[in-house]
Each structure stands twice: as C-alpha cells, then as structure tokens.
Amino acid sequence: MPAKADVLIVGGGVIGLASAYELSRAGARVVVIDKSDPGYGCSYGNAGWITPCFAMPLPMPGMLIKSIGWLTDPESPLYIKPEFSVTLFRWLLRFLLSMNRKRMLTSVDALTAISKQSLELYKELARTTDKPFSFEQKGLFMVAQSEDGFGYAKAEMDLVAAHGIPGRIMGEEEARAFEPSLTKRVRGGVFFNEEAHAEPLQVTQTLAHEAQKFGARIIPKAEVIDFQLAPRGIASARTTRGVFTADQFVLATGSWSPRVAQTLGLRVPVLGGKGYAIITDPLSPNPLRPMMLIEKKVAVTPRSGTLRLAGTLELVNQDETFTTRRVEAIVRGAREFMNVPEAVSYHEIWRGLRPCTPDGVPIIGRVARYPNLILATGHQMLGLQSAPGSGKMVADIALGRKTDVDPEPFRADRF
C-alpha cells in the first residue's frame, strides 16, 4: 500500500492522468486509482480531435425546437430517450435554461481558452516525450451538403475567429479538390488549419508514462467504494484494493462522477452523452485529414492503416447498452459524403459516455463542503482536447497557484 499521498486522483481517464502529470511535474506525490485499466473509459475510443475551433458547449441557442424533433427520432445526432426520471428532468431544465446566446458566448470564451492552452501543451508534450501519441497537426475540415449546413460552418468560423482561431471558406469545387474522399455532393466547407488530432488511448498512456517519470503511482482495478471523513474534509478513500489516504483528493471519474460523488452526499449534475465509434478499413479514396460531416454530425479521423468514424449523442443516466441502429446511422451518414462500401468492415465498435454538464462547461474546482476535494469532470465532447489545460488548472488549484485560464466559469458550486 502506498504511503500517504499529497494528492489522490480517483479516475485514470485523460482528465485524471493530465492532472497527475501536471501535479507530479510540479513536485507533488500523486497516486491515481482507477476501477478498471486507466485510459479505457470514455477516453479510450473517441475521435481524437484536438480542435479549439470546435470548443462549443452542448446547449446552443435555437436548439429548443430541434430538440423536440430529436425526442421522436432515435437516429437523430442528439437523442433524448423520453423517460420519467427526476435526474433527467432536472438536468434537462438546466440544459434548456443554458440555450441562450449570452450563456453560449460565455461558455465559448471558457472552452476556447482552455482548448487553446491545451493544444499548446500537447505540442510541447509531442516534442518532449519519448512515448509518441500519434500527434498530427493536419487541421480540421468541416464540410456541408446543404445551404444550412454551410451557413452553420461559416457562423462557427466567425464565432471562433474572435478568439484568434482562423478558418478558410471553400466552395464546392475547391472542397472536392482539397479532399478527394468527398465523392458525393457537397455545398462547401470551412478548413481550420491549426487543429490537431492524436490516438486517444496513446494520449492517456503518454500522460501516464510522463507522470510516472515524476514519481506518480498509477493503480488499476481499484474501485472507490466510499470515503472516510476527517474533521475538515476527506481523510481517505476505501477501494476494492485497500484504503488510500491523502492530503487532497481529485474526483475525475467522468460519467461515473454522480455515483462516486453521491457517496459523499454531493449532487454532481453530469449525464452520459453516449456516442459510438467504429474503426473500419481505409476508404478509396481515403480522407487526408479529420473531417466533420456537418448534417450528420459524423467525425471522420484517418488513422494509421484504418479509419475512425464517430458520432451521435444520446443522453443517458449510466446506461452503457449498445444500440446498433445508431451505429448504422453513423455509417449511413458517412456514406452520404464518401465512398463507404455497403459491406463495411468493422474492426472495432466502441461506445463511450461523454460526461455532460447541463451548461456544457466542465466542472473544475473545490467544493465548499470538503475543502480538500477538487472536482474535475463534465468535459462533454471536449475532454481530450481540453485535458492538458484542465490538468494544469487542477494542479494550480491544488497547489494554491493562480490558474492560467479564468476558473470562474468552471466553478464546482455554480449549479
């Protein structure tokens, strides 16, 4: 059993491991525990995008009308299964209240700031690590088939341009020449040159490796059961593999956060945004770079020797079941843009639960009731791309330093 740690991090996803890396390189004695193998939660099979241009909160103005349609269409990119649940009702109410422009702009400020910082930190990590994570800066191409979709891409470009994230508009012909894998009709697209991508599992492995070099201990298959309390805060965590004591605790348990927080009597408003990814053979012609197929909200990521298609978001409460219909909708959606064969090969089908807060901004900060507890969860669709910045913020808060990014919008007690 390890000696008392300075910081015990519960959850070895990309957020927990990025926090471990930043804390341990600042000199803290860190232990990370995970109920499974670190890196195999939602951080395992995501699209791998590190794209500040895409730093949007889930609730956006104008979604209200659309969301009513989504309730009735199980193949819609965002699906909310109609069911009676107080948790879902409370979450949806807050979600609806966040669908206004003022709120959205504040969230975009926060999300672009932490994503831009993260991209810089990833670049530095890619330069310095001896464990590469397939980091490539090939940009992101948003392509649309409809006038509406094209308008959406241009509006997003204008929104992020104000944050110093440049994009370039392309009409149909230019888009096709630029990306020959677009074999079907397209209206146009916007290319964001500075965006990057990486292999998600390798990202977590690199962060773990780098944290371990600074002395962090990473312990798999240790599931937190509950916590023992001290007069001021938490004394220790009882797990399936023993009791871990620490001065400070970080809860980075992604979509499992409500369940773990509940053992402390805390209500953390996080729902799972279930999404799927499939890994298939390369197409002919294969995409040259990551693409967002706007109308279908399908993320396309070329990999070494294969291709990843990812998408859909179904709001669920801890439901990890597979809905093959939604997996097929991703493939069909991609086929409307590219040369995807009828008999598509499935090297891997994966689902993950994105930890979603109702206002679309992660929760990073201390909790008044437990002064030695920091929450680091709720990273919705942006956990990979905002992990290094989130880890830095966690480390700064734990070590009493000023944070680089304004922590206010991320506050844990805002709900």
Ligand X SMILES: Cc1cc2nc3c(=O)[nH]c(=O)nc-3n(C[C@H](O)[C@H](O)[C@H](O)COP(=O)(O)OP(=O)(O)OC[C@H]3O[C@@H](n4cnc5c(N)ncnc54)[C@H](O)[C@@H]3O)c2cc1C
**Whole-angstrom Cα distance, residue 404 to residue 53?**
20
**Whole-angstrom Cα distance, residue 167 to residue 282?**
27
Segment contacting ligand X by CB under 6 A, of 22-30, 151-159, 269-277, 405-413: 269-277
Which of 377, 405, 409, 412 is in the footprint of ligand X by CB under 6 A?
Answer: 377
Which of 8, 12, 219, 309 is in the footprint of ligand X by CB under 6 A?
Answer: 12
- Going by their DSSP bridges, the two strands 242-251 and 5-10 should be labelled as parallel
Which of 16, 139, 360, 391 is in the footprint of ligand X by CB under 6 A?
Answer: 16
Question: Looking at beta carbons only, is 175 or 291 nearer to ligand X?
Answer: 291
Cβ atoms 252, 13 nearer than 8 A: yes
How far apart are CB 370 and ligand X at their closest, in Å? 16
Residues in the chain, how many?
415
DSSP secondary structure of 336-401: TTB---SS---SEEEEEEEEE-TTS--EEEEETTEEEEEEEE--GGGTTTTHHHHHHHHHHHHTTP
272 interacts with ligand X by CB under 6 A: no
How far apart are CB 174 and ligand X at their closest, in Å? 25
- Going by their DSSP bridges, the two strands 233-239 and 298-302 should be labelled as unpaired
Segment contacting ligand X by CB under 6 A, of 135-143, 176-184, 228-236, 254-262: 254-262
Which of 88, 201, 294, 381 is in the footprint of ligand X by CB under 6 A?
Answer: 381
Segment contacting ligand X by CB under 6 A, of 75-83, 128-136, 241-249, 377-385: 377-385
Residue type, position 89, single letter: F
- Within 10 angstroms of residue 99's Cβ, the number of other Cβ atoms is 19
Which of 181, 253, 372, 403 is in the footprint of ligand X by CB under 6 A?
Answer: 253
- Residue window 292-331: x/- pattern of binding to ligand X, with contact defined by CB under 6 A: ------------------x---------------------
How far apart are CB 127 and ligand X at their closest, in Å? 20
Helix 14-25 and helix 387-398, axial crossing angle in degrees, nearest 10: 50
Which of 43, 112, 145, 236 is in the footprint of ligand X by CB under 6 A?
Answer: 43
- Residue window 216-245: x/- pattern of binding to ligand X, with contact defined by CB under 6 A: -------xx---------------------
How many whole angstroms from its chain centre is CA 75? 22
Which of 56, 88, 277, 405 is in the footprint of ligand X by CB under 6 A?
Answer: 277
How far apart are CB 378 and ligand X at their closest, in Å? 8
- Within 10 angstroms of residue 84's Cβ, the number of other Cβ atoms is 6
- Going by their DSSP bridges, the two strands 307-316 and 348-356 should be labelled as unpaired
15 interacts with ligand X by CB under 6 A: yes
Question: In a 3-state reduction of DSSP, which class is residue 346?
Answer: coil
**Whole-angstrom Cα distance, residue 107 to residue 361?**
6
- Residue window 386-405: x/- pattern of binding to ligand X, with contact defined by CB under 6 A: --------------------
Question: In a 3-state reduction of DSSP, which class is residue 112?
Answer: helix
Segment contacting ligand X by CB under 6 A, of 1-9, 63-71, 156-164, 249-257: 249-257
Tokens of residue 330, six digits:
């991703």
355 interacts with ligand X by CB under 6 A: yes
388: closest CA among 9, 49, 13, 18?
18
Question: Looking at beta carbons only, is 116 or 187 nearer to ligand X?
Answer: 116
**Whole-angstrom Cα distance, residue 410 to residue 408?**
5
- Within 10 angstroms of residue 7's Cβ, the number of other Cβ atoms is 25
* Binding positions for ligand X, rule: CB under 6 A: 10-16, 33-36, 41-43, 46-49, 223-224, 252-256, 260, 275-277, 310, 352, 354-355, 377, 379, 381-385
